[in-house]
Structure 1
């Protein structure tokens, strides 16, 4: 029960990585509240608080922050993905992706930091895509690079009162993973090739990211701040050579 007595707010907890973190925090004894753009999902545990929230809207974020009250742990997980190059991206695509992935994280941190408990932990969900570019994901790649930079700035500017770190997932089994492979000329071949590049020979699961989030949220990580933790099954550790050929 590493998070017993702690209050956590997780954005985008409806499904995928967000829901995995919600469940892991609950199992470790935290009081958890989450949010999403729609109504409360039926499968969300009953003891989890829910707010309907668009994190790109600063006024709505401020309202929810007031309702939530003091918070020990903030996880900025809410995000969207558009599979387009720069040339193909529209102004609406920019507003959607940068609004949720960049402005949303900024809005949440700006609203919550002044009211977080001393020693509080902010965990931003970045991505390996913020360091190495996935094809046809221009806005998504850029938005995650923003998250990485903001993470470092918050750690420097607001320590020691608040710690701030980012988790950078690799290929995790969610809807976003399927959408990425669907861009390939041969999705099945692309999936097999990607799998071969993982040292652990599997794709990640939301629980893999949630385990790191629990550690970063706990007092065990009291000396960790301003860092980007890559959780990708060893994929980015490999050279461009396909290990399946050797």
Structure 2
């Protein structure tokens, strides 16, 4: 089932948010994109994108996604976007909470990388994992989510070191990107609108990010232009983590 030499890309969690922006961007760039999610195919997904209903935390499902993509040819791009956010401290986190977050955010990324690596090691490829600034600085009341992103960053470096030069592996670390997941973080505040305004003021870019901001970076990372880039975690946060708590407008 060849596709005329088009690059074959797998994007997990491509139904909405950042994942959907990545799917749309890679598809627009000419890739044959295979994406997946735990729900049914979104009705507005481009007809040229192949959908697999799957839970990548399940080893068999991850294998099924990659096998479906391999029907089109060599899978040379993997973007691990699927993830779950949980707003709890360590004290309040249950065993079920742990399994829910770690299975998707950690095991899911591991499963997908393990599935594509044998072929990529032989024929080349690029992996981009979705980390987060939450793996660099800790968001309050999101303990195991923060920890799961630290895992993603470390796994990214290990894959780059162990499987270069044929495989490049990088991570992007988004900050406040306006998706449903980000909105749920503001709901934790006693005054969500005030918390959002304060957060914007702390960004040198003076805005929150968009899914397209992340998709643009990923498109570059999987391109030949980034051929000397591997093992890196790229922060995409409008300068949030670079800034001092002291705001210039107050001085």
The Cα of 1:119 is off from its aligned counterpart by 3.1
- Aligned pairs (5 A) from 1:61-140: 61-69=62-70, 70-116=74-120, 118-140=123-145
Unmatched 5+ stretches in structure 2: none
How far, CA to CA, are the matches of 2:124 and 2:249 in structure 1? 45
Aligned residues: 243
The Cα of 1:86 is off from its aligned counterpart by 0.5
Unmatched 5+ stretches in structure 1: none
TM-score by length of 1: 0.96
The Cα of 1:244 is off from its aligned counterpart by 4.0
The Cα of 1:186 is off from its aligned counterpart by 1.1
How far, CA to CA, are the matches of 1:205 and 1:132 in structure 2? 20
| Greater mean alpha carbon deviation, residues 151-160 or residues 182-191 | 182-191
How far, CA to CA, are the matches of 1:86 and 1:173 in structure 2? 26
Which segments of structure 1 move beyond 3 Å, counting only runs of 4 or more?
none
Contact 2:10 2:66 in 1 (8 A): no
Aligned with 1:122: secondary structure? strand
Aligned with 1:82: secondary structure? coil
Which residue is equivalent to 1:202? 207
What are the superposed Cα offsets for residues 149-202 of structure 1, whole Å, 9 maximum, x if unpaired? Answer: 000000000001100000000000001111111101111111111000111110
How far, CA to CA, are the matches of 2:239 and 2:217 in structure 1? 15
- Aligned pairs (5 A) from 1:215-230: 215-230=220-235
Which residue is equivalent to 1:187? 192
